[in-house]
């Protein structure tokens, strides 16, 4: 696959824009990780901590004393496969509510934790008797940086609010689209893709087709594919399939919008400021006492550098003047010799 990706990047005009080798490397890394069961156990443990005592998702406990690179032992769980919708109804599970919970679990993983289950097909998800999701198989997990989460949230909110200029500008600001991109033209292309799907139930929306049309639009504006988001796009398609099976009338936009708006309010404004201050407060105890010494050092270094630069300039000027005087002296001597012999 790596060789094929290299060849495609070499001979196909869109190869470099799609970053095919990076995408292949991203999947290869996750496939290698999936074969290490100690790593999978650590993924399970992390996700369990993120959703400990959650009313939405149950993650089994790992028994570390029995785990090795080829063996993983975790808590036994009992549940109904999420694809068995008729059985779930017999157990009095609220199917529309279950579908909404799935959307909330996904966005919680992505935006609150930046760490998500990236293999959410029906075979890996069960439903307990208490109505909670039960997750298994933690071999493939995705992670996002704070910067990725911010740009993704901006894009999702732009879609939900039909603010296509915001989406186009976010792509440029993130460096996903070239700096010289005409934002108004990019905005029009995104509007042409997204506007037809709004106000439709999930059963009438096919995200695979939407993504395909978005890729076609992005090609026109040389938008670069982000390898770290490929797993997220794959997971979104899995979520689409689950939602379509559970509740075809699910309004994905209406379900996700309040969550994203609340998350954004926690990241910007006073709430966001307080959150960041609390997060960075432990570092202040170490950094603040060093400020006077750092400021003194900086000023001293700056003063010494200024003096050194000034001295270098003076020496250069003196050398230049010395050369000029030597030249003048030579010319005067030549003139005197000419006068004497004439």
Q: Which of 111, 120, 141, 146 is nearest to 30 (CA)?
A: 141
Q: Which two tokens stand for residue 314?
A: 């003076």
Which neighbouring-strand residues pair with 125? 135
141: β partners: 117
Helix extents (H) in the chain: 2-11, 15-18, 20-34, 37-50, 85-90, 95-107, 146-160, 164-173, 183-194, 207-220, 230-246, 252-267, 269-287, 291-341
- Residue 157 half-sphere exposure, CB side, CA atoms within 13 Å? 17
Distance CA 147, CA 36 (A): 29
Distance CA 219, CA 209 (A): 15
- Pick the catalytic residue: 14, 33, 94, 119? 119
User: In 10 A of CB 240, how many CB atoms?
Assistant: 18
Q: Is the CB of residue 255 less than 8 Å from the CB of residue 100? A: yes
- Residue 21 is given by DSSP the state H
Three-state DSSP state, 80: strand
Q: Are 148 and 160 in contact (CB under 8 A)?
A: no
DSSP 254-314: HHHHHHHHHHHHHHSHHHHHHHHHHHHHHHHHHHGGGHHHHHHHHHHHHHHHHHHHHHHHH
Beta bridge partners of 230: none
245 given a catalytic annotation: no
Residue positions annotated with a catalytic role: 119
């Amino acid at each position: 696959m790596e060789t094929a990706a290299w060849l495609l990047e070499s001979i196909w005009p869109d190869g470099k824009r799609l970053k095919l080798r990076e995408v292949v490397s991203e999947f290869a890394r996750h496939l290698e990780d999936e074969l290490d069961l100690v790593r999978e156990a650590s993924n399970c443990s992390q996700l369990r901590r993120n959703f400990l005592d959650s009313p939405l998702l149950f993650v089994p406990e790992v028994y570390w004393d029995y785990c090795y690179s080829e063996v993983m032992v975790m808590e036994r769980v009992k549940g109904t496969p999420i694809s068995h919708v008729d059985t779930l109804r017999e157990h009095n599970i609220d199917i529309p509510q279950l579908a909404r919970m799935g959307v909330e679990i996904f966005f919680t993983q992505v935006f609150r934790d930046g760490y998500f289950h990236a293999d959410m097909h029906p075979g890996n998800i069960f439903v307990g008797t208490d109505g909670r999701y039960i997750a298994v198989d933690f071999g493939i997990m995705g992670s996002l940086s704070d910067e990725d989460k911010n740009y993704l949230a901006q894009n999702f909110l732009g879609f939900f609010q039909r603010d296509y200029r915001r989406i186009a500008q976010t792509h440029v600001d993130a460096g996903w689209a070239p700096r010289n991109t005409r934002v108004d033209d990019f905005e029009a292309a995104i509007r042409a893709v997204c506007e037809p799907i709004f106000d439709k139930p999930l059963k009438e929306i096919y995200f695979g087709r939407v993504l395909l049309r978005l890729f076609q639009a992005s090609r026109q504006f040389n938008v670069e594919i982000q390898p770290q988001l490929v797993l997220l796009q794959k997971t979104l398609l899995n979520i689409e399939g689950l939602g379509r099976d559970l509740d075809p009338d699910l309004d994905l936009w209406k379900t996700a919008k309040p969550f994203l708006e609340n998350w954004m309010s926690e990241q910007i404004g006073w709430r966001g400021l307080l959150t960041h201050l609390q997060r960075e407060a432990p570092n202040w105890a170490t950094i603040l006492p060093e400020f006077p010494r750092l400021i003194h050092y900086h000023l001293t270094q700056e003063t010494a550098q200024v003096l050194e630069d000034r001295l270098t300039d003076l020496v250069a000027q003196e050398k230049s003047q010395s050369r000029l005087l030597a030249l003048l002296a030579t010319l005067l001597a030549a003139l005197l010799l000419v006068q004497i012999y004439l």
